[in-house]
Amino acid sequence: MVLGEVHTAKIRILIVEDEAIVAEDLELAVTNIGYEVVGRAVSADAAVDKAVKLKPDLVLMDIVLRGEKNGIDASQEIKEKVDIPVIFLTAYSDVGLIDRAKSTEPYAFLVKPFQERQLLASIETALHKSGVEKRLEESEEWLATTLMSIGDAVIATDAAGCVKSMNHVAERLTGWKQEDASGKPLTEVFKIINGETGEEIENPVTMILREGVVVGLADQTTLLAKDGAKIPIDDSFAPIKNDKGGIIGTVLAFRDISERRLAEDERERLVKELEAKNSEMERFTYTVSHDLRSPLTTIQGFASVLRMDLEKGEIERVRNNLKYIENGIIKMARLLNATLELSRIGRVANPSEDVPFGELVSEALGQTSEQVKSGGVEISVSEDFPAVHVDRIKIVEVLVNLIENSINYMGDEPHPKIDIGYRTDDGETVFFVRDNGIGIDPESHEKVFELFCKLDRGTKGTGAGLAIVKRIIEVHEGRIWIESEKGAGCMVCVTLPVVPE
């Protein structure tokens, strides 16, 4: 059996040698050890052309060839075009020539003359090395493709904590390109802070390299991107270990949780809003049941008395008792109407429009002109009101209610006055209705907005007015509050969506 008979003809070799006799001997040796010679070339250009056309598994290349180009030049071109492994053949031991040949990364050197066993060993070594490199390249390509396709950001570092690779998501979030970040300490590329306090957080890679454990990010961890952007992130980081358990690097996988954080904040807001609504509903239910019970008790009581009066034939007392019953029914109707109106606010609305606030004030004063005139009230209105984007009818209703309240709570003021205007507080426009009446004790500033609340039971109305006003303002995403002291007048302040100038 000849040397190399275990090999098959599938291994195809190109011989590049400008000495015919040497080429013949080389082909014979290659054939004897079991390989196939697919072609021969005598020049660098011919070698490149045949390598591209025939695509052999290996090239045996003489370094010194006739012509302007030598085997080193040919090897370089072959590497660039088809990346086929090359074994250099040389009868020279020139150190400079050998060093130059090394720059093309040949798979082996054979010094002429050589034996078949040396040739076999070199070819086997070259083919094995080439196969390993190809598998490694395929593996690296597969890994790179996988990393690039992952939706999370991924950064890998070496054992010193310097960046080795990062995928597109990591580039986008950090603001660093891989070519710029490669070799830099991770602490320079991946900066994290506490999103609430702004304090710098220990980089997890430091802990991984020190302790060799998987590390998770703390709550409120925020990535400080290259351009200064702050991005909330989460996930975990782990060490990369060799087969002996030694740490040879780290891998970081993290994601942008901005949308999730917004969703959590929105959920928290909605939960709080629902809790407030439930609390408001409980108070509303209690108030309605309590206040409606009063006229019902009146009607029930006088109905019993009425029955006894009818049995006794006391017609005059019947008439008087019927008046009490009628008044109770009227009061109940008013309470029910006020309750219904409050429940409809926000569900039934007119389209919002841009309207100068001064026009709304004029409409409200037109609707309250009789009360203003009969009460002898002096009205003062600011000029140059800004425009607001509101439900026109509802905001006029608010102003009418506030004007009537001011008139009803003037007390014994000999010169009643109402000012309607606006001011700017920290860039926010605040509209107000101010009077010089009896005022409201600070302890009751919130209470007056409760349904059916009446600080003075002797006044007209159901006490639902300010509750309705508050609900209208809240539907417009505004605020309402009172600034007042007992005996020093009252100012009701509201905010509304102002139209930008």
Please report which confidence band the pLDDT of residue 4 belongs to, taking 50, 70 and 90 as the band edges: very low
378-414 confidence digits (pLDDT tens):
999 999 999 999 989 889 989 998 999 899 889 888 9
Do residues 361 and 496 lie in contact, with contact meaning Cβ atoms separated by under 8 Å? no
Greater model confidence, 336 or 475: 475
What is residue 386's predicted lDDT score, i.e. its pLDDT? 95
CA distance 443 to 226: 52
Do residues 495 and 479 lie in contact, with contact meaning Cβ atoms separated by under 8 Å? yes
Please report which confidence band the pLDDT of residue 459 belongs to, taking 50, 70 and 90 as the band edges: low
Map out the domains of the chain as residue ranges: 12-146, 150-256, 262-344, 353-494
Q: 88, 125, 150, 116: which is closest to 30 by C-alpha?
A: 116
Which residues fall within 8 angstroms of residue 49, CB to CB, at 6 or more apart? 41
What is residue 7's predicted lDDT score, i.e. its pLDDT? 46
Q: Among 88-92, 167-171, 277-281, 464-468, whose mean pLDDT is lowest?
A: 277-281
431-446 confidence digits (pLDDT tens):
999 999 999 888 888 8
What is residue 389's predicted lDDT score, i.e. its pLDDT? 95
Q: Tell me: domain 12-146, CATH 3.40.50.300, correct?
A: no
Q: 205, 199, 170: which is closest to 185 by C-alpha?
A: 205
CB count in 10 Å sphere of residue 152: 16
The third-level CATH classification (topology) of the domain covering 262-344 is Helix Hairpins (1.10.287)
Q: Residue with structure tokens 């509750």?
A: 467
Q: In CATH, what is the architecture of 150-256?
A: 2-Layer Sandwich (3.30)
Mean pLDDT of the chain: 80
Mean pLDDT for the stretch of residues 118-146: 73
Do residues 230 and 206 lie in contact, with contact meaning Cβ atoms separated by under 8 Å? no
At 403 the three-state DSSP class reads helix
Name the token pair of 142: 């597969």
CA distance 187 to 55: 47
Q: Among 12-21, 263-272, 273-282, 459-468, whose mean pLDDT is lowest?
A: 459-468
Mean pLDDT for the stretch of residues 258-277: 82
What is residue 242's predicted lDDT score, i.e. its pLDDT? 66
Amino acid at 329: I
pLDDT at 365 over 50: yes
Mean pLDDT for the stretch of residues 139-157: 69
CA distance 113 to 106: 19
pLDDT at 342 over 60: no
Mean pLDDT for the stretch of residues 365-388: 93
Greater model confidence, 436 or 458: 436
What is residue 288's predicted lDDT score, i.e. its pLDDT? 59
CB count in 10 Å sphere of residue 149: 10
Please report which confidence band the pLDDT of residue 291 belongs to, taking 50, 70 and 90 as the band edges: low
| Burial state string for 94-132 with b = 16 or more CB within 10 A and e = fewer than 16 | eeebbeebeebebbbebeeeeeeeebbebbeebbeebee
Q: Among 56-60, 215-219, 360-364, whose mean pLDDT is lowest?
A: 215-219
CA distance 99 to 314: 134
Greater model confidence, 296 or 47: 47
**392-408 helix and 465-475 helix, angle to the nearest 10 degrees:** 150
Please report which confidence band the pLDDT of residue 48 belongs to, taking 50, 70 and 90 as the band edges: very high
Rank 291-305, 335-349, 353-367 by mean pLDDT and report only the highest. 353-367
Do residues 70 and 44 lie in contact, with contact meaning Cβ atoms separated by under 8 Å? yes
CB count in 10 Å sphere of residue 438: 18
Which residues fall within 8 angstroms of residue 95, CB to CB, at 6 or more apart? none
Q: Tell me: domain 353-494, CATH 3.30.1330.10, correct?
A: no
Please report which confidence band the pLDDT of residue 144 belongs to, taking 50, 70 and 90 as the band edges: low
Q: What percent of the chain shows pLDDT beyond 70?
A: 76
CA distance 208 to 250: 7
Mean pLDDT for the stretch of residues 124-137: 76
Q: What percent of the chain shows pLDDT beyond 90?
A: 24
